Every structure is written in C-alpha cells, then in structure tokens.
C-alpha cells in the first residue's frame, strides 16, 4: 500500500491559513445604527470592512418607526448598536435597554451613554450650545406639545459638529474595544476626521457670515444645534411636535415675529412641505429654503458627515 508524502511547505501554508481564518472573520464587525446621520459618523471612523445597517430610512419617523424582521435580525447579530437616545428613537428604548442589548447598545446623547465620556462632555467646551438655545425662546409658548425631550430640548444633536465629534470619538472607543479591531486604522481615521471636520467648520463659518443678517424660521424643533454652533439667528419655530398642529396662540406669535423679522426665511424640512406655512404667511414677504435634518440624500461614505454639514450651510445660504 503506497503512501503520499506532502511537502512540508504545503502543510505549513495550510496550517497558517487555518490559523489566520478566525482572525479574518473577527476583524469584520457588524454595526447597526438608528439614523442615517449616525451612519455617516460610523463610516467616517470604521474600517472599510465594517457592515453598517441603518434602521430608519428616508421619509420615516424615528419617533414611532416599526422595524422590519430583517432589521430585527440585524440587531441581534450586531457587535455594536449606536442610537441617539430615548428622546429621539422612542421605538428602540425598551428593546435596547433590555438584557439582550444592554451591553451592545450605545446612546450617543451626552448623559445617556453607557460610558464615562458622558459627564466629561457635559463639562466640556460645548456650553455655547445651551447659551444659544434662547434663539428659540418661543418654544415654551407652543401649546401643540413637545418634539421629544421632556424638557422641550432639541434632540437632533448630530447637527452640531462639536457634539458630533464627541459622538465620533465614542464610536471610535466602542469599535476599538471589539475583538480583532484594527486599532491603528481606527486611530488614523479618527485623526483624519477630526482635522477634516475642523477645516469644514472653519469654511462654513466664513460662508455663513452674510446669513447672520437673516431671520430664520423652521418647521419644527430640529435646527437649534446647528444655529447655535454657527451663531445663526433662529427667530421662530412653527411646531415643536410635527405630529401635532400648532395651537392658535403660537401661530399668532409666529405671525407677529414674521411681520417684525428682518429678511425672514422659512427653512422647510422634508417630508414636511411648504403648505404647512401657507395659512400663516398671508401677505408677508418671505423666502423659502429646503433642508433635511436626516441627511437622506447624502452619500454614506467616510466624507458623508462633512458633506452633510455643507448641505445645511448651502440651504441657509439659499435664503440669500
């Protein structure tokens, strides 16, 4: 009976390939995000082999979204889940706070996250955000209800690039802790994002200088973080909760502000159309500009968040 002898080099190569196979599988993390803007931040930081699933698609409401079975399966398979927090994606609150996901879910709102970064961020250099919220001082008079947060705050925190940088750093911390993570690549991508974002902020600040003479009005409570960061005059908000019609008293206040405003511009939001403003405007001379706080049309790649910031700035400049 004859025996075949395999060269030692072939055996060594085979053993090496089998040894490396588990590491290759581990190095491809699966991430689920609730919203498109969070996907943009993840793609800025994560390595190219990362699978990213976004739950809430274009035109959907993140407050009362219903997941598809395939999305629920993606959640179950995820190594990490990123969401803004219970003030925004109310449909995820009970699920992500449950035992199955508690260790894998990461709320990126300062004070809501799982990590120690939350308190540091609240103490950090973003106090300007709160100082500017009085641009929208008429919020308390809106008898149509609240957009999400119990305190009437704007939960669309990703529109402030300073807060989003904190969010990107938290995403980096989570991804580097996953088994098989390429920490050197993740570190390099975070450094690139930090520098690119700083350059983008500087350019946008310069571009928006003439827009600071405008009076900006928005459909619902979603623009305050961007306006505060770039020192834009947010003169009024039609409704705090887009699911409810604004009350008569609040409509009268908005009309009065429109009449007294210098160069009023109405920032209309998809999927809310301009018809919502028609009964209020009357014969008041206004301009319109369309913008999208959920980044629906932005390409999801490593530069996506920068393009998102530029798209909002361009919408403001359209008011001119």
Give domain status of residue 46, yes or no.
Answer: no
DSSP 266: E
pLDDT of residue 148: 45
Give domain status of residue 170, yes or no.
Answer: no
How many domains does the structure of the chain reveal?
1
pLDDT of residue 266: 92
Question: How far apart (Å, rounded) are the C-alpha atoms in residues 200 and 215?
Answer: 24
Give domain status of residue 185, yes or no.
Answer: no
- Cβ-contact 308, 40 below 8 angstroms: yes
Residue 271 has pLDDT above 50, yes or no: yes
Mean pLDDT of 184-208: 98
The neighbour count for residue 75, using CB atoms within 10 Å, is 21
Collect all residues with Cβ–Cβ distance below 8 Å to 134 and sequence separation of at least 6.
Answer: none
pLDDT of residue 112: 73
198-233 pLDDT, tens digit per residue, is 999 999 999 999 999 999 998 888 999 999 999 999
Model confidence band, residue 275 (pLDDT cutoffs 50, 70, 90):
confident
64-104 pLDDT, tens digit per residue, is 899 999 999 999 999 999 999 999 999 999 999 999 999 99
Residue 272 has pLDDT above 80, yes or no: no
Of residues 135 and 276, the one with the higher pLDDT is 276
Give domain status of residue 20, yes or no.
Answer: no
Provide the domain limits for residue 221. 208-318
Give domain status of residue 280, yes or no.
Answer: yes
Residue 140 has pLDDT above 60, yes or no: no
Collect all residues with Cβ–Cβ distance below 8 Å to 313 and sequence separation of at least 6.
Answer: 204, 207, 208, 230
CATH number assigned to the domain comprising residue 278: 3.40.50.1980
Give domain status of residue 225, yes or no.
Answer: yes
For a pLDDT cut of 90, what percent of the chain falls above it? 62
Model confidence band, residue 138 (pLDDT cutoffs 50, 70, 90):
very low
Global confidence as pTM = 0.81
Model confidence band, residue 240 (pLDDT cutoffs 50, 70, 90):
low
In the chain, count of helices (H) and strands (E)? 12, 8
DSSP 57: -
Residue 24 has pLDDT above 60, yes or no: no
Which structure tokens are listed for 183?
């920490």
- Cβ-contact 55, 32 below 8 angstroms: yes
- Cβ-contact 157, 225 below 8 angstroms: yes
Give domain status of residue 295, yes or no.
Answer: yes
Give domain status of residue 255, yes or no.
Answer: yes
Residue 35 has pLDDT above 60, yes or no: yes
- Cβ-contact 6, 51 below 8 angstroms: no
- What does pLDDT average to over the chain? 83
């Amino acid at each position: 009976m004859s025996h075949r002898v395999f060269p030692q080099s072939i055996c060594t190569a085979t053993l090496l390939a089998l040894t490396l196979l588990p590491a290759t599988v581990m190095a491809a993390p699966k991430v689920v995000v609730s919203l498109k803007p969070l996907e943009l931040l993840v793609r800025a930081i994560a390595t190219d082999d990362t699978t990213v699933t976004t739950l809430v698609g274009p035109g959907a409401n993140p407050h009362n979204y219903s997941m598809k079975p395939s999305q629920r399966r993606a959640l179950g398979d995820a190594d990490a889940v990123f969401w803004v927090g219970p003030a925004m994606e109310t449909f995820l609150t009970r699920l992500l706070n449950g035992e199955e996901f508690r260790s894998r879910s990461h709320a990126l709102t300062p004070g809501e996250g799982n990590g120690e970064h939350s308190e540091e961020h609240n103490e950090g250099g973003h106090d300007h955000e709160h100082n500017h919220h009085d641009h929208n001082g008429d919020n308390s008079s809106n008898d149509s209800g609240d957009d999400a947060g119990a305190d009437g705050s704007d939960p669309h925190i990703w529109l402030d690039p300073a807060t989003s940088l904190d969010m990107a750093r938290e995403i980096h911390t989570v991804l580097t802790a996953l088994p098989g993570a390429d920490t050197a690549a993740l570190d390099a991508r975070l450094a690139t994002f930090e520098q690119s974002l700083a350059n983008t902020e500087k350019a946008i600040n310069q571009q928006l200088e003439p827009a600071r003479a405008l009076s900006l009005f928005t459909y619902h409570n979603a623009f305050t973080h961007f306006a505060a960061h770039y020192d834009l005059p947010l003169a009024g908000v039609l409704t705090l909760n887009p699911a409810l019609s604004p009350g008569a008293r609040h409509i009268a206040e908005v009309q009065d502000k429109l009449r007294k405003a210098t160069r009023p511009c109405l920032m209309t939001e998809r999927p809310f159309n301009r018809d919502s403003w028609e009964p209020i405007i009357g014969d008041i001379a206004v301009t319109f500009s369309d913008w999208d706080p959920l980044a629906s049309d932005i390409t999801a790649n490593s530069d996506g968040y920068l393009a998102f910031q530029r798209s909002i700035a361009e919408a403001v400049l359209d008011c001119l």
